[in-house]
Amino acid sequence: DFCLSRGLGDVYKRQRPMLARTGNAPDWLETARARLLRAGVDPSQDIDARMVAATHHISRGDYPKALLELNAARELRTPRTPPMKAAALLERRAHVLDRLGRYDDADKTLTEATELLEQHGCAHSDAMVLVLINRGNLQWFQDRKSEGVRTLERAIELGEHLQGSSPIELGRALSDLGAYQMQRGRNEAATKALLRAERLLPTHYVVQANLAILFGELSCREARDVARCQDEGQAKAYRYQLRAYELAREQLTAGHPSLSQIAGNLAYDYTQQGRYVLALQHYDEALDGLTAAYGERHIKLIRPLLGALEVAVRTDNKTSAARLGPWLRKASDAHKKALGPAALSVIDYTLLR
């Protein structure tokens, strides 16, 4: 039974993309866990099965179910649990808490993971790279933006020094760093980070989506024909955004929050092109998926809410405007500090229209 349970786990890892699409993974995982425990193995071994189950739920964007599995795994920890396994569990739990907007809990969990790794002489390990990546992203959303950038840079430097870190994780870290540098107006640093990310992950939807935003933001002040340059930049951005959406649909399940966020980005491009029907369709997709994942007041809903309201105003759709306006107000009021005065001014202006 024990060998069979491990075999089922290996099959899951190899066939995870197919199982994620068909929805059979939970049955396989539950069978593996049940057989593992029936074999009379120490219950702490159930941590592995719980973490695999959580990974499956994360891949589908079902963060509440992932948290249930990780909380159960956390309760199974004993003094005999290997520190690297315990740190990996804490890092995944912090990642999920971050996605759910529980930033204080995520911060405490990352601190626990950091202290554990340092106590066992693992401060320069692949596990610490993952902890630092999570902490950098968390600091950014806690409005500690300079700290977040420095932490991500430290994570990337450590990962490259170790040379054993996953290219996926390093690519994602570079992509996040590029996105944050772009938001700070540091386009040269953003371009450098995102192009490095693309070399590591040429077909990853997140990298393509961030490159699309970058090309849409880059100015053409040095160009002789500014209008033509801007048109070409927007066209390039749209190609990247469309590619990101196509890749996300291939790699993620319907309703996944990352797919929903990219749908919102594509909706913005359709708005700029005056294709309002397509824009509203993609904004609806974005809002449905993000609401299902995070609830109605998460900070990630603000941008698609603002975009959808803008389309409603432009098309004189009073019914949609009446629904979206109060929703946007409630969501933005919950995140005033993180949004900052400039973003709040844009929201107020749109609401007044």
Comparing 149 with 353, the larger pLDDT belongs to: 149
CA distance 290 to 313: 22
pTM of the model: 0.76
pLDDT class for 231, splitting at 50, 70, 90? Answer: low
Nearest to 51 by CA among 99, 84, 23, 15: 84
Burial class of residue 239 in the structure, from the number of CB atoms within 10 Å of its CB (0-12 exposed, 13-18 middle, 19+ buried)? middle
Both structure tokens of 263 = 């749908």
| pLDDT the model gives residue 332 | 86
For 11-29, the pLDDT digits (tens) are 444 444 444 444 445 555 6
For 312-324, the pLDDT digits (tens) are 999 998 898 889 9
pLDDT class for 46, splitting at 50, 70, 90? Answer: confident
pLDDT class for 258, splitting at 50, 70, 90? Answer: very high
What mean pLDDT is predicted for residues 333-339? 73
Comparing 165 with 21, the larger pLDDT belongs to: 165
| pLDDT the model gives residue 339 | 64
For 103-237, strand residue ranges (E) read none
Measured N-to-C along each axis, helices 257-272 and 276-294 cross at an angle, to the nearest 10 degrees, of: 160
**Contact indicator for 328, 344 with CB cutoff of 8 Å:** no
**Considering all CA atoms of the chain, what is the largest pairwise distance in Å, rounded to the nearest integer?**
75
Q: In this structure, what DSSP letter does residue 107 have?
A: H
* pLDDT surpassing 80 at residue 42: no
| pLDDT the model gives residue 26 | 55
CA distance 328 to 305: 6
CA distance 267 to 288: 14
| pLDDT the model gives residue 48 | 84
CA distance 173 to 194: 10
Burial class of residue 18 in the structure, from the number of CB atoms within 10 Å of its CB (0-12 exposed, 13-18 middle, 19+ buried)? exposed
Comparing 163 with 235, the larger pLDDT belongs to: 235
CA distance 230 to 223: 9
For 117-138, the pLDDT digits (tens) are 999 999 999 999 999 999 999 9
CA distance 173 to 213: 17
What mean pLDDT is predicted for residues 103-122? 95
Nearest to 259 by CA among 285, 281, 237, 279: 285
Backbone φ, ψ for residue 274 (5° rounding): 80, 15
